[in-house]
Amino acid sequence: MSRLLLPLEHPTPAAGHDTAESLLHALQQLPRRVQQVFLLNRLDQLDFAAIAARLDLPLASIERHMDQALQAGRSRRDGLASAAGRWYVRLQSPEVTACERIDFRRWLDAAPANLQAFHDTELRWRSLLAPARQLGHDGWYRQGRAALSLGGCSVALGLGVAALLLLGFCA
């Protein structure tokens, strides 16, 4: 998602563009897995299929996580921005169909506000690079799936050892 889908001849800044600090704060509020998917795409420029394979997740989850990251900090009431974000993410998926591309074009042509919302979404995507660099500065997101669930594994291991000790004392 590093390239723009539409040419920005005369980008007009939308009212209320977020600052880098507010975007960073919004990204930090996301679940760790969403952050990881977003950073793998934004910083390492991995496509959805590569992220799905690396993290052993379905493509639909990758799309959902990317949409969450793109919408971070936005008002949930802004339906047009949400729709533009969903289109932006969906068009990056390797599973997007020709019919969906036609539907997108129809949506884009249906109203000037749709085109503006999509341009604003692309500008927002660009503005997420600096906060992404701050969020992933130490490379934590490059760790595999096990790194994120290490806490759960240690709890399970502890419970297993406790059960074995308990069975040993009862026998």
Q: For residues 118 and 122, what is the distance between their CA atoms, to the nearest angstrom?
A: 6
What's the pTM?
A: 0.72
Q: Answer yes or no: is 1 within a domain.
A: no
Query: Is 59 inside a domain boundary?
Result: yes
Q: How far apart (Å, rounded) are the C-alpha atoms in residues 38 and 40?
A: 6
Cα end-to-end distance, the chain, whole Å: 60
**Quick check: is 165 in a domain?**
no
d(CA 130, CA 42): 10
Full domain range(s) for residue 64: 20-144
At 168 the pLDDT is: 73
- For each successive 10 residues of the chain (171 residues), what is the average pLDDT? 51 54 90 94 93 94 94 82 94 94 96 95 91 90 62 61 69 63
Separation between Cα atoms, residue 13 and residue 159, nearest integer Å: 55
C-alpha torsion sign, points 127, 130, 135, 137: positive
- Total structural domains within the chain: 1
In a domain, 126, yes or no: yes
At residue 20, the pLDDT reads 81
pLDDT at 112: 95
The answer as to whether 103 is a domain residue is yes
